[in-house]
Structure 1
Amino acid sequence: MRSKADHTAAIHEHRRAALVVNTRSRRGRRHYAEVLRLIEAANFRLTGVHPITDPSRLRDIVERALAGNPDLLIAGGGDGTLSSTIRHVAGRDVALGALPLGTTNNFARSLGLPLDLPGAVRVLTEGKVADIDLGLCGDRPFANLASFGVSVEVAGTVRPWLKRIMGRSAYPLTAMRILPGHQPFRAYITADGRRHELLTHQLNIANGRFHGGWQIARDAGIDNRMLVAYQLGSGKRLRLIGETLVRATTGRWRSLAGGPFVTGSEILVETDPPMAADIDGEVRLRTPLVIKTIPNGVRVMVPRDFVDR
């Protein structure tokens, strides 16, 4: 692996990159031509352009893009596309350049990226290479979040038309529709030798700083070797509805020291009954699960003022 300084210099000087864009998504399809125009105007020497029309082929497409040995893999899409791409970039001598084309863009927000395309491309030309942490749930690396409870149902039922109209607010609105029929569950979280028990409808384990497009806590981060576990509400539906509404309208959260958070570099999650886990949009694993951090798990392009630990 090159040093981060050498890697940054290579990207700035040679502009050797591969481009992958999820054109299956609404925003990816609509902005694809603009992405190509901006990348060309930034004088990138593209080793390949790879539109994704079938998300099930993402792994093959990313591997084909990496076969050209680019210094930078530019990926345009939402959190699901970027998280899936990260799994194939992790541990390689290539940096990921993220173009936020999703609804919530949690990963881009955690990196401090501009959410407009010209601003995001400017980071690729003027920013720096940083090594950030990943989460690991079972054998699945993830960038943003592992979640349990009502959000698993929300991810599978949120309507595309509602996302188009409401943006990130579509998720809490869908949650409130599902919640009246949802049963609370008991969760046991063990971190740093301490076991915590709670009754809730929703449990999240975050690697990044944002969830649903809103800040988790002022001092949460994606590069601090720390996972953050927190529940939304309690076993009472009204409390969850209240917290969801506050979060959807203000995004207001306390610091990790003053909020309902459990932190640790490794967290054991047990639930009664056993529950499915949503790992950055993929529902594949079930509790009990050990979730841990992968320090400096992947290289990314970030703004110059990003604090790289």
Structure 2
Amino acid sequence: MDVIVAGDRAGLAEARRTLGIGREAPPGRAALALVPTMGALHEGHRSLIRLARERADHVAVSVFVNPLQFGPGEDYARYPRTFDTDLEVCAEEGAGIVFAPSAEEMYLPDRQVGVSAGKMGTIVEGASRPGHFDGMLTVVLKLFNLVRPDVAVFGRKDAQQLALIRRMVLDLDLPIEIVGAPTVREADGLALSSRNRYLSPHERTMALALSRALFAGAEQGRPSEIRRAARAVLDAEPGVDLDYLVLVDPATFTEVGEEYAGEAVLAVAARVGTTRLIDNVVLTLG
């Protein structure tokens, strides 16, 4: 399938006209689904595109490494950029549009207004990366406004990101359905991530402690037992520099108490060598 590549607003409008997007979709289906990415596409992204195709007649994939969500000293400059390969992935998975804007196309030089992630943007991942979620929500809102999808698909590996996007859609009355897709893992349990390519073979072996910790916690019943079992696995791997290990409410990302009942997210972030990785599993307690 040929993919239409759009680098600006005019290209997006032309792509919509070419594909006939805007006509009424059949009952039960959306006209257009969006899969926002920062490129360096892997099997996890493929699964998002496939899910988007199930939900809509047409799929757009955005490829944009967003400078607003990288802090000082983070990996914006070296973040993997593999656009030609990304295009091949999008074509193979049946995406109709790839929106690949420049930073100059996305942001005015005197940009002043953005989205605030509020309190949830300052805790857990937000505490480690101040301003990250403000930048993420700002670009997601801009992508929604530019691409105008009916559905947007995000991976659950970035669980706090997904929670904040759902909250933005609710708070700002955006007419978009947000779909969360399961985390895709390697056979040995490592969650797929574009940053995995930074890992040396030895570091990759050490990184398996993150998923092992989550799976060990998931075998327990009470919050204190879950946290204790997961932490024991991480403490036993000296090559893992733990940032946080939390058991939280999936809607608010606040820590759950011992008597909590319902769905919860056990989330971890750690540095292995120079690479910072995140992962999580969803549990049902009580």
Q: TM-score, normalised by structure 1?
A: 0.32
Q: TM-score, normalised by structure 2?
A: 0.34
Greater strand proportion:
1
| Bigger relative contact order (CA 8 A; separation at least 6) | 1
Greater helix proportion:
2
